Amino acid sequence: LKISIIRSELLVMNKRVLVVGSGGREHALGWKLNQSPNVEKILYAPGNGGTENNRSIKPTDIDGLLKVAEHENCFTVVGPEVPLGEGIVDRFQEKELPIFGPDKQASQLELSKVFSKKFMQNHGISTANFRVFQNPDDALEYIKSKELPMVIKADGLAAGKGAIICRTLDEARIAIDRVMIKQEFGSAGNRVIVEDFLHGFEVSFIGIADGINFIPFATSQDHKQVYDGDLGANTGGMGAYSPVPMVSEELYEMILNKIMKKTVNGMRQEGRAIKGVLYAGIMICNNVPYVLEFNCRFGDPETQPQLFRMKSDLLPYLEASADGNLQSLDPIKWESGSAVCVVMASGGYPNAYESGKVIHGLNDVMKMKDIMVFHAGTEKQGENIVTSGGRVLSITALGRDTQDAVDRVYKALKLIRFEGAHHRKDIGNQALDYLGEL
């Protein structure tokens, strides 16, 4: 306890935060944390072309991250899921280094879809009917006996691309071949879940837990498919907006109490107390919420519009989560308007793409009011910023309402260009359609 108090006092004095990761989510986390009066310096490992104080350390190089955090006396914030699954939080805790995120035991909620589905089944949390398979032939026979569409999911981590909607038997055969036989997602496809397809609209319900308590973020909606109209292959996310007007106050409370708080309590009962982010991807069917999946880290790109709307200081919530002290904090305060984020991706993404394309127009956009460009797949090459990944930029706008935010973000997008760039043109349309019907 004394060691923890001493480290906490040192943190207050030095006010340094190490953000682990290189995406738009991590850029947004650092950007928001840097606004805290208690933060003196943000470091990124490895960061990207839009971040400063970068350290050339991979998120999975836990020894390297430990050295930086200890030497710089940092509070560490973990962005991506892979280092969580490799036990980064456990290692930092062994060294008495402050860190935000769930330990390896709690991370099972995201690491294994089989674990999470059985957890929901055991704790009475609504989710689609499912079966687990280790044999591809058995999975296909089961699908033949069901009404299509069905959803096939790889058990393990697949960078947001491991859920495949199958509307025909041929699509199911191809999906099983990709996941289980060709193993496009590696060992994540050793087991698959085959579950009923749910009709409705999706919402990302994200918040922060400390093992006992849970504080929610504003609602958001992600857009996974690569093309307009939710067509094409799954991606890591092509855009998001916050809040989601289709979520009524009654529905919000239902999700909060019957899913999020129930999950925090259930995980504690199982000896897997979750400290860090709890993220439920939810399908709303006839005003009833069903969990599609759980994540144990902030969403990408949901984080970008959420943090753009956040009025409260983020740091105290992250520290209170790590310390098990969320009950001491007030609810998070939000801007009353709306924020919309659109991802600009490299040509060919989510499949093979080329890197090294020079990005033009960034300075022009940064002069615009209530616009922020969060970098992801970028790097600096001399005086230029060039592409270095599939999802390149997250252009994010704050508006007085959804329509205003949509107008602002697409106006900004027109000023940015790089060879092969593509983006969705319908981010926020589901909200606008709903609001237009009111």
What digits encode the pLDDT tens for the residues 274-289?
Answer: 999 999 999 999 999 9
Residue 141: pLDDT over 70: yes
Alpha carbon distance 324, 122 (integer Å): 25
pTM of the complete model: 0.93
Q: For 379, what's the count of Cα atoms within 13 Å in the CB-facing half-sphere?
A: 10
- Number of other CB atoms surrounding residue 146 within 10 Å: 15
For the segment 215-242, the average pLDDT, to the nearest whole number, is 96
What integer pLDDT is reported at residue 9 of this predicted model? 47
Alpha carbon distance 119, 320 (integer Å): 26
Percent of the chain with pLDDT over 70: 97
Alpha carbon distance 218, 199 (integer Å): 23
What integer pLDDT is reported at residue 6 of this predicted model? 41
More confident residue, 23 or 161: 23
Residue bearing tokens 């067509």: 231
294 DSSP β-pair partners: 280
For the segment 263-273, the average pLDDT, to the nearest whole number, is 98
Contact criterion met (CB below 8 Å) for 157 and 188: yes
Residue 102: pLDDT over 50: yes
Q: Residue 161: pLDDT band by 50, 70, 90 thresholds?
A: confident
Contact criterion met (CB below 8 Å) for 136 and 302: no
Range of weakest confidence among 47-51, 161-165, 192-196, 345-349:
161-165
What integer pLDDT is reported at residue 438 of this predicted model? 76
Both structure tokens of 31: 């950007």
Residue 3: pLDDT over 70: no
Residue 186: pLDDT over 50: yes
More confident residue, 234 or 219: 219
Both structure tokens of 421: 């760039």
What digits encode the pLDDT tens for the residues 7-54?
Answer: 444 444 458 999 999 999 999 999 999 999 999 999 999 999 999 999
For the segment 254-283, the average pLDDT, to the nearest whole number, is 98
Exposed e or buried b per residue across 387-425, where buried means at least 16 C-beta atoms within 10 angstroms of its C-beta: bbbbbbbbbbbbbeebbbbbebbbebbebbebeebebbe
Which long-range contacts (C-beta less than 8 Å, at least 24 apart) are formed by 247-252? 247/203, 247/219, 247/284, 248/287, 251/284, 251/287, 251/289, 252/219
Phi, psi at 99, each rounded to 5° = -150, 145
What digits encode the pLDDT tens for the residues 397-438?
Answer: 999 999 999 999 999 999 999 999 999 999 999 999 999 987
Percent of the chain with pLDDT over 90: 92
